Structure 1
Amino acid sequence: MINAVLLARWQFAFTVGFHIVLPAFSIGLASYLMVLEGLWLVTGRRVYLDVFRYWLKIFAITFAMGVVSGLVMSYEFGTNWGTFADKAGPVIGPLMGYEVLTAFFLEAGFLGVMLFGMNRVGPVLHYMATCLVALGTLISAFWILSVNSWMQTPAGYTMGADGQFLPANWWDVIFNPSFPYRLVHMVIASYLSVAFVVGAVAAWHLLRDRQNQAARLMFSMAMWMAAIVAPIQIAAGDAHGLNTLEHQPAKIAALEGDWHSEPGQPLILFGWPDMKNERTEYEVSIPHLGALVLTHTWDGAIKGLADFPRDQRPYSPIVFFAFRIMVGLGFLMFGVGLASLYYRARRRLYEARWLQRLVVLMAPSGFIALLSGWVVTEVGRQPYTVYGLLRTAQSHSPIGLPGVATSLAAFAVVYFIVFGAGLAFLLRLMRTPPATGESGPPQGVPVRTAGITPTPALIAPSHPAAAE
């Protein structure tokens, strides 16, 4: 039955679903820009500066869209989730304030220098601004994930007389049990997501011009990221899963589709969790593999979903399928990375047309995996906002169904218009081929006074081999 609480959850899911992609893009792209500019300063190869400027325009638009989408959620805490804000505010309010003070101000303060200051402050100072913007995105992720992790695994708090969560130990609040795992998993996911967008754009242009040096550089760097970071992400996900099993066992049971505990727990590959009859229909499973993955033993067992009271169970079908989408895409990224290593070893990376076509198709794969992981995290936490302590049904504001429905409809219309236009503009920029030689050292900058000797490599056009 549709009620105000359910619609408020849909509204928050809708707005967060739009928002989470944009900061993730900003995190990965800011670090990529930092690497590109650093390589330009070290090597003097102009192709690095060309690629830097190509993605800088995209970063600026993405950053602005992320700021706008994030503001909306702040208001939703007050309009739709006032009770939650009142009870958890003494803990999460300061953490979100620290994010603004230490991260957003840092990013906003140096973003202007990064975007417009290269001809004014010189290459070295400009690079420092780029580094500080990249650092700001990571600090922002630190605080936001600390907030979310505390809601998943609350620690370091006491309960006030009026039912409020009060901080008792800020160290335990910030570095709660799941925080390190979530931070690593999310940051790596951001890097992988950006790597496949960069790789897809590069592959798109390589399919049209195999000799485009900027596109070759972008594709090479993206495939290195896929080959190196994808397996690290799989290992980080495994560690995160073990931590979740310890602190949120019902979530693990829901995402695995396991209803009953049994020795040698099977790994269910496919099926349909039936919440009413407490079983997974049409199950296709591998015996003992679930025990190996979850307990690292052959005959291990986990607590099944049927062992939890019905009113404490997440809705398994959503978590079950979202988890498999995330894992499936993760292993597909890993496979692309391995394929790229094979062709790189044979010196045919830029001739592998099928690989380039596959990478183009996988452009949104990182963000789809990221959104799927977010669904697993948030739906798997239900029926709580603060896990095990504050239920979702006790967290919403006293607002009626018509009010929530009206704002949800308005948000949907505005978001699709505004962000649809933004996405169209981003795709238009990405369709434009990166041109080697479109930019050189900033005109009018006394490079020597910035601490860099103006060597021929720095001021001459890049050699075609520079992107190799």
Structure 2
Amino acid sequence: MSLLTLSRWQFAVTVMFHMSFPAITVGLSILLCVLYGMHWRTKDLVYLQMFRFWRRIFAVGFAIGVVAGIVVTFQMGLNWGVFAAKTGPILGPIIGMEVVTAFFVEAGFIGILLYGDGRVRPVTMFAATVMVSIGTILSSTWIIAANSWMQTPSGFVVRDGRFEPVNWIHVIFNPSFLWRWPHMLAAVLISASFFVAGIGAWYLVKRRALPFARRSVSIALGIAAILLPVQIFLGDQVAGHELPHQLPKLEALEGNWANGNTGYVMFALPDQQARRNSAELSIPCLGSAIAKDLSCTTAVPGLTLTPRQDQPDMTPVFWGFRAMFYAALLMFGTVFYATVQRFRRKLWTSRRFHRFLVWSAPAGIIAILGGWVVAEAGRQPWVVFGYLRTSAAVSRLAPGEVLFSALGFSALYLLMLVAYIGYIVHAMRVGPERDHPDQVRRRQPAPRPVPASSVVTPVPASGEVS
């Protein structure tokens, strides 16, 4: 494998591992605000029980995500030194703003969120929870701004081979950012919703902590039912505002090599060297219908329209989009069925559906990872689309060094992922029963009686003895 291929694989592994945690924690941080706010308003102890349980899951995922994010940042300077040097005047301040506005906010209030329950006033506890949630949202905002600029660069000039900003408004609010940011925010909320619904459904199957389980499933499915139709609209807008700037990405995700196909390719095995699909399954006229033409005359463009040296690898782009799209269809169908069952008053008696919810818990994470594969692999062979090729941005390292670090990171991340999943399974088995305020009070030690010998009898003053 070449230096470029090894460096791309290492970056893909680290970024996808890191992204798996914000896919849960950003949504969970907002859920924690809702839960503590509901407890503060209604004094219902179930909401406090839910807050304590999900806070524990959030805390571990948040810690691992921060560690993985630091590795990604250092990797830009080590493995992609040329890229860092050329884009530093633009991406450096954006990443710096993430540290100033996001990390500082999170670091200032995360301690109160984790340890302030029962030690500070409810208003302080709620404010700290909200500030941590704002920090997670700000962090994702700056990351999306940086990545969107790499997708649709604007507001800069190139001087002496470096990208220098001339209009920060255009740099940050580039053509794809205005739709990619709400699309990503909705995605992490939906992902966290299915994660919460899946764990809550597990307790429904086990007939444990039923008030906790029902509230968790109800809130999670309700949020997903509201956001999924909005997400479909946002995804369509992302395609309409980003793909016209990156036609090779559109051609690759559609799965067509030649022009003229009006159908939609559901399954394909692309052969990049031969520039054809070894096998494919296409639904006639569906591609034209998706393009808002029901006459079956609008053909989907093929990747051969793009010069060979500018073509992305079709396989990851095609299957990354299918993973995102099929997972979205699965989640949409799930919340639609759940809504019907709720109106029929059968949502809490359908044990088969509860088991299905357990297995669908990672659907949102899969959709997010698939979307990032499309975004990054579809931009190739450019790291800054149209201006800086990936092959010209990599650091000149020995391939053996990169291979060693890539294998080391992969092994370490696999260990951390297994540990996190093991912790979630352990927390599920212990259950939320220990987080109920009544159980917490029972576990607190009773006050020790004061020995009679230690009681000091006051001596009456002179004249006070009758």
> What TM-score do the two structures reach when normalised by structure 1?
0.90
Residue 129 (structure 2) pairs with residue 130 (structure 1): yes
Q: Which residue number corresponds to residue 108 of structure 1? A: 107
Contact 1:254 1:314 in 2 (8 A): yes
Query: What pairs up with 1:1-400 in 2 under 5 angstroms?
Result: 2-160=1-159, 162-209=160-207, 212-262=210-260, 265-294=262-291, 298=295, 299-400=297-398
Q: How much does 1:355 deviate?
A: 0.8
2-side partners of 1:245 and 1:57: how far apart? 40
SS at match of 1:205: helix
Q: What letter corresponds to residue 432 of structure 1 in structure 2?
A: V
Residue 432 (structure 2) pairs with residue 434 (structure 1): yes
2-side partners of 1:130 and 1:440: how far apart? 23
Q: What letter corresponds to residue 25 of structure 1 in structure 2?
A: I
Q: How much does 1:39 deviate?
A: 1.1
SS at match of 1:165: strand
Task: Name structure 2 gaps, 5 residues minimum.
Answer: 442-466
Q: How much does 1:60 deviate?
A: 0.9
The Cα offsets for residues 170-215 of structure 1, whole Å up to 9 and x where unpaired, read as 0000000111221112111111111111111111111111661011
Q: How much does 1:251 deviate?
A: 0.2
The Cα offsets for residues 408-463 of structure 1, whole Å up to 9 and x where unpaired, read as 122122222334223311221133322287126999xxxxxxxxxxxxxxxxxxxx
Q: How much does 1:289 deviate?
A: 2.3
1-side partners of 2:65 and 2:316: how far apart? 26
Q: What letter corresponds to residue 111 of structure 1 in structure 2?
A: I
2-side partners of 1:294 and 1:441: how far apart? 57
SS at match of 2:348: coil
Contact 1:119 1:442 in 2 (8 A): no
1-side partners of 2:84 and 2:435: how far apart? 53
Change (3 A) 1:27 1:211: closer
Change (3 A) 1:395 1:422: same
2-side partners of 1:192 and 1:341: how far apart? 16
Q: Which residue number corresponds to residue 464 of structure 1? A: none
Contact 1:244 1:251 in 2 (8 A): no
2-side partners of 1:147 and 1:274: how far apart? 32
More displaced 10-residue stretch of structure 1: 240-249 or 25-34: 240-249
2-side partners of 1:241 and 1:21: how far apart? 23
Change (3 A) 1:159 1:437: closer
1-side partners of 2:281 and 2:411: how far apart? 41
Change (3 A) 1:276 1:209: same
Off by >4 Å, runs of 4+ in structure 1: 295-298, 440-443
2-side partners of 1:207 and 1:268: how far apart? 38
Contact 1:82 1:397 in 2 (8 A): yes
Residue 423 (structure 2) pairs with residue 413 (structure 1): no
Q: What letter corresponds to residue 267 of structure 1 in structure 2?
A: Y
Change (3 A) 1:271 1:412: closer
Q: How much does 1:378 deviate?
A: 0.6
SS at match of 2:21: helix
Change (3 A) 1:442 1:183: farther
Q: What letter corresponds to residue 216 of structure 2 in structure 1?
A: M
SS at match of 1:207: helix
Q: How much does 1:73 deviate?
A: 1.1
The Cα offsets for residues 121-140 of structure 1, whole Å up to 9 and x where unpaired, read as 20012101111111111111
Q: How much does 1:229 deviate?
A: 1.7
Q: Which residue number corresponds to residue 452 of structure 2? A: none
Change (3 A) 1:76 1:296: farther
SS at match of 1:280: strand
Q: How much does 1:275 deviate?
A: 2.3
More displaced 10-residue stretch of structure 1: 286-295 or 203-212: 286-295
Q: How much does 1:4 deviate?
A: 1.2
Contact 2:201 2:358 in 1 (8 A): yes
Q: How much does 1:285 deviate?
A: 2.0
1-side partners of 2:19 and 2:293: how far apart? 32
Change (3 A) 1:410 1:256: same
Contact 1:214 1:436 in 2 (8 A): no
The Cα offsets for residues 288-328 of structure 1, whole Å up to 9 and x where unpaired, read as 32233235574334542111100111111121112111111
Change (3 A) 1:33 1:145: same
More displaced 10-residue stretch of structure 1: 274-283 or 366-375: 274-283
RMSD: 1.9
SS at match of 1:121: coil
Q: What letter corresponds to residue 246 of structure 2 in structure 1?
A: Q
Q: Which residue number corresponds to residue 451 of structure 1? A: none
SS at match of 2:270: strand
Q: How much does 1:244 deviate?
A: 2.7
1-side partners of 2:15 and 2:323: how far apart? 19
Contact 1:228 1:337 in 2 (8 A): no
> What TM-score do the two structures reach when normalised by structure 2?
0.90
SS at match of 2:291: helix
1-side partners of 2:266 and 2:173: how far apart? 34
Q: What letter corresponds to residue 269 of structure 1 in structure 2?
A: M
Contact 2:209 2:433 in 1 (8 A): no
Contact 1:254 1:305 in 2 (8 A): yes
Q: How much does 1:118 deviate?
A: 2.9
2-side partners of 1:424 and 1:441: how far apart? 24
Q: What letter corresponds to residue 157 of structure 1 in structure 2?
A: F
2-side partners of 1:36 and 1:296: how far apart? 45
Change (3 A) 1:152 1:297: farther
2-side partners of 1:402 and 1:41: how far apart? 57
